[in-house]
A and B are shown apart, each in its own frame.
Chain A
Amino acid sequence: GENVEQHPSTLSVQEGDSAVIKCTYSDSASNYFPWYKQELGKGPQLIIDIRSNVGEKKDQRIAVTLNKTAKHFSLHITETQPEDSAVYFCAASRDSWGKFQFGAGTQVVVTP
């Protein structure tokens, strides 16, 4: 089955700097890669996703890149702000499969 590894487990950045989180997956049939942000006491919320027919996707300060050959995808947050502090999860799935495999999560702390 699918296995998703996520690094780093914790990331501390200065406000205004960039943050990068990387995930690797094992199942070459996976074709959908969402990223979720979880704030304290809440459920995860989708922040961006990418499908396997696209190499990069941007939404304001957030971007995701996908390398299908190497089977890894990354989340990039630019100009970080204190409200970006949260736990971020990557995930992998494929159409009609019903299963989502999540990474172990990255605790991001943005210090002023």
Chain B
Amino acid sequence: EAQVTQNPRYLITVTGKKLTVTCSQNMNHEYMSWYRQDPGLGLRQIYYSMNVEVTDKGDVPEGYKVSRKEKRNFPLILESPSPNQTSLYFCASSLYPALNSPLHFGNGTRLTVT
């Protein structure tokens, strides 16, 4: 089944403790992206990757890191999480951005930073 898999689904951590949220897609998509969803703000793009070893900042990249060492994986790293990073995070992939190629989203990771 074609899908985007995020892990974990739920995560509670403390301020300053490094964490990684994994994202994997099995559709051989070139494009991958991370979003955070907050009430009243919709989905805001954190980072995106057009291909392996190519990553770019979205609208809210501060406090996050990503890497794209292989096509299928795009982990999101929080080196020193803070409470304002408490949010619902979504990973998405696409065969190619726009060009009638839809974004496929994972089911989300709910992160709480205390």
A38 → B minimal CB distance (Å): 8
| Residues of A close to B103: CB separation below 8 A | 34, 36, 44, 46, 100
* A42 pairs with B42, CB closer than 8 A: no
Task: Please tell me the size bucket of the interface on B.
Answer: 20 to 34
A99 at the interface (CB under 8 A from B): yes
Per the bound structure, the CA–CA distance linking A100 and B58 in Å amounts to 9
* B97 pairs with A6, CB closer than 8 A: no
* B31 pairs with A98, CB closer than 8 A: yes
B100 at the interface (CB under 8 A from A): yes
* A99 pairs with B108, CB closer than 8 A: no
A6, A99, A103 — most chain B CB neighbours (10 Å) = A99
B81 at the interface (CB under 8 A from A): no
B62 → A minimal CB distance (Å): 16
Given contacts A31-B98, A96-B98, contact A89 B42 (CB under 8 A): yes
* B98 pairs with A97, CB closer than 8 A: yes
| Residues of B close to A1: CB separation below 8 A | 59
Per the bound structure, the CA–CA distance linking A14 and B31 in Å amounts to 39
Given contacts A89-B43, A104-B40, contact A99 B105 (CB under 8 A): no
Per the bound structure, the CA–CA distance linking A89 and B107 in Å amounts to 16
* A99 pairs with B48, CB closer than 8 A: yes
Residues of B within 8 A of A (CB): 4, 31, 33, 35, 40-45, 48, 50, 56, 58-59, 90, 92, 97-100, 102-103, 105-108
Residues of A within 8 A of B (CB): 1, 6, 9, 31-32, 34, 36, 41-46, 49, 51, 89, 91, 93-105
